[in-house]
């Protein structure tokens, strides 16, 4: 299976980073250990496995996406609050935000394409 370039612009997928244009500005998002701890607390998850299981169901509320994207933006070095994130926009509207959230979670926790190919 051919691997695609894991670095997009400034983002390094090996570090779990994704890059997105949000409110017309290129930003790096990354769920760092601190960001994940923030999300464990926000979602009352007992551990990282419980957090990953919660996200794997694919049924996220808008508030969930705000928290995840906020944590990812802060992990990527952006000084934003969840209130700031709630009014941010990306191309594609809510569908674009959902894709960005999914991309960030996949970069952090992996996805089907990361599974070994038998």
At residue 21, what are phi and psi to the nearest 5 degrees? -95, 115
Average pLDDT, the chain: 86
Question: What is the band of 5 on the pLDDT scale with cuts at 50, 70, 90?
Answer: very low
pLDDT at 8 over 70: no
- Enter the DSSP assignment of 7: E
Q: Tell me which DSSP letter residue 80 carries.
A: -
pLDDT at 112: 57
Neighbouring residues of 14: CB distance < 8 A, sequence distance ≥ 6:
6, 7
Q: What is the pLDDT of residues 26-40, one digit of tens each?
A: 999 999 999 999 999
Whether residue 104 contacts residue 68, with contact meaning beta carbons closer than 8 Å, is answered with yes
């Amino acid at each position: 299976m051919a691997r695609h370039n894991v670095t997009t612009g400034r983002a390094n997928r090996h570090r779990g980073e994704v890059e997105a244009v949000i409110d017309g500005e290129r930003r790096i998002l990354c769920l760092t250990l601190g960001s994940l701890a923030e999300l464990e607390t926000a979602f009352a998850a007992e551990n990282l496995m419980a957090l990953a299981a919660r996200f794997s169901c694919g049924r996220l509320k808008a508030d969930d996406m705000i928290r995840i994207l906020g944590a990812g933006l802060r992990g990527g070095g952006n000084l934003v609050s969840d209130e700031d994130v709630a009014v941010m926009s990306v191309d594609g509207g809510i569908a674009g935000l959902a894709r960005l959230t999914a991309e960030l979670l996949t970069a952090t926790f992996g996805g089907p394409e990361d599974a070994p190919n038998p």
